[in-house]
Structure 1
Amino acid sequence: MAEKSSIFDMIGPVMIGPSSSHTAGVVRIARAAIRILGAVPTEAVVTFYNSFARTYEGHGSDRAIVAGLLGYPPDDVRIRTAFDHAAEAGLRYTFQSVGNASTMHPNTIKLNLLDGATGRRVEVVGQSRGGGVIRIVEVDGFPADFSGALHTLIVDARDEPGSIAFIASVIAHDECNIATMFVSRKGKNDAARQFIEMDSPVKDLTLSYLRALGWVQHITYIPTLE
């Protein structure tokens, strides 16, 4: 007799196993990081914290993070042979582990990435929350809070009066509904960063307009992650 499913059965993400936390979530953290960098990196320093530090090799998180850095989605069979593909792509990577970071989520990863073509560097800290769900909690030292499940806009700008309301107004005129907004700044009238999650995509024309504003230094747009 075939088994009956129950309302308590859990349906996880479509992925290459063995674990949604240690593979699918890890891939998504890396994919978010390369969107922030704007390229597949040429160099990566990967730091695994807490439970990840103790299990990343056995659970395949090392292959998963490299696959994500190459842009592969969580269900790509190339995850299993990601090290070989990294060598072909010219991606150099180093793994580090910190097993007792008590202030951090158990499944935390920090990525320090370099795009050798442009010289651009980014540092991204992400958490794998289970079921393939992630949170990006820090970008270049700025606290953050976004999941990659929605369209995300990262705005680097001077801390000008009215800047948050202005950006929100521009997005609203693009008929984009803001789901969440998280704002960090280094100090009053200093560098600030807005992390904005939206229910729908931003038009290219709107992005071009925002990038042309004199007080806006950099715009990063991240469509929803697989």
Structure 2
Amino acid sequence: MKFNSVFDIIGPVMIGPSSSHTAGAVRIGKAARTLFGKRPTWAKIHLYGSFAKTYKGHGTDVAIIGGLLGFDTDDTRIGKALEMAAETGMNVQFVQDEASTDHPNTARIKLGNEDESFELVGISIGGGKVEITELNGFELHLSGNHPAILVMHNDRFGAIASVTQILAKHEINIGHMEVSRKDVGKDALMIMELDQNVSDKIEKELAVANHILQIAKIVD
């Protein structure tokens, strides 16, 4: 097995007993918060496999909520995340789901506010690393360990080119890219993991490109 860093072996700097059940859970929660774009007023979290069996003992519950509050893996407030969420008015519910999944450390996070809702599926693959495998019904493979942009767009010719041309103009390299759609001619989701963060200025430029509906980004 190839490791890129010593942290791939010992895991990240973190609060909690388990890089998979705690640090990974924080990152899944934070990815949901980042992609939703704001603090939710409610969250319903389905836990599967070993997440469901040991989530209280390993702190998976406080870790996910800490992520939803925007905390990093080493934030000392994680242990009080449930109380802090309640203080902000966030209504939180955990479900120990018995459905089978491809990975034992799987969480489905449904969240929202009075106006909109959002759904994300994430898995913790060890060492604090995660993958996002579903977003609002779109299948994807997003590591969450690199800067990334997620682009909702019309399924039309030229949509992908309009984004890649802007990134090329600003000398931003794409490390991984995939496109998912639910049906021909409907909305599609473009995911790009990048070698560097996208500035707010570039994000605004992407948002008005041809056939683009919505932009979200994950920064390193």
Instruction: Provide TM-score, normalisation by structure 2.
Output: 0.92
Q: Which residue of 1 aligns with 2:3?
A: none
Q: Which residue of 1 aligns with 2:73?
A: 74
Alignment of 1:1-226 (within 5 A): 10-101=9-100, 103-116=101-114, 119-224=115-220
Cα–Cα, structure 1 residues 108 and 65, in superposed 2: closer, same or farther, change >3 Å?
same
Question: Cα distance, 1:204 vs. partner?
Answer: 2.3
Q: Which letter does structure 2 place at the counterpart of 1:199?
A: D
Q: Which letter does structure 1 place at the counterpart of 2:136?
A: D
Q: Is the 8 A contact 1:39 1:115 kept in 2?
A: no
Distance 2:33 2:170 in 1: 26
Distance 2:9 2:183 in 1: 45
Q: Which letter does structure 1 place at the counterpart of 2:152?
A: D
1:148-199 Cα distance to aligned partner (Å, 9 max, x none):
2111101001011132233112111111110001110112211100011101
Distance 1:78 1:114 in 2: 23
Question: What is the DSSP-based 3-state SS (H/G/I as helix, E as strand, rest coil) of the residue aligned with 1:77?
Answer: coil
Q: Which letter does structure 2 place at the counterpart of 1:176?
A: I
Q: Which letter does structure 1 place at the counterpart of 2:187?
A: A
Distance 1:193 1:132 in 2: 26
Question: What is the DSSP-based 3-state SS (H/G/I as helix, E as strand, rest coil) of the residue aligned with 2:64?
Answer: helix
Aligned CA RMSD, in angstroms, stands at 1.6
Gaps of 5+ in 1: 1-6
1:95-139 Cα distance to aligned partner (Å, 9 max, x none):
0012341x42110000001034xx121100000001000000000
Distance 2:148 2:116 in 1: 20
Instruction: Provide TM-score, normalisation by structure 1.
Output: 0.90
Q: Which letter does structure 1 place at the counterpart of 2:170?
A: D
Distance 2:19 2:164 in 1: 34
**Which has the greater radius of gyration?**
1
Distance 2:98 2:57 in 1: 15
Gaps of 5+ in 2: 1-5
Q: Which letter does structure 1 place at the counterpart of 2:83?
A: D
Q: Count the aligned residue pairs.
A: 214
Question: What is the DSSP-based 3-state SS (H/G/I as helix, E as strand, rest coil) of the residue aligned with 1:46?
Answer: strand
Q: Is the 8 A contact 2:47 2:94 kept in 1?
A: yes
- Percent of pairs with identical residues: 43
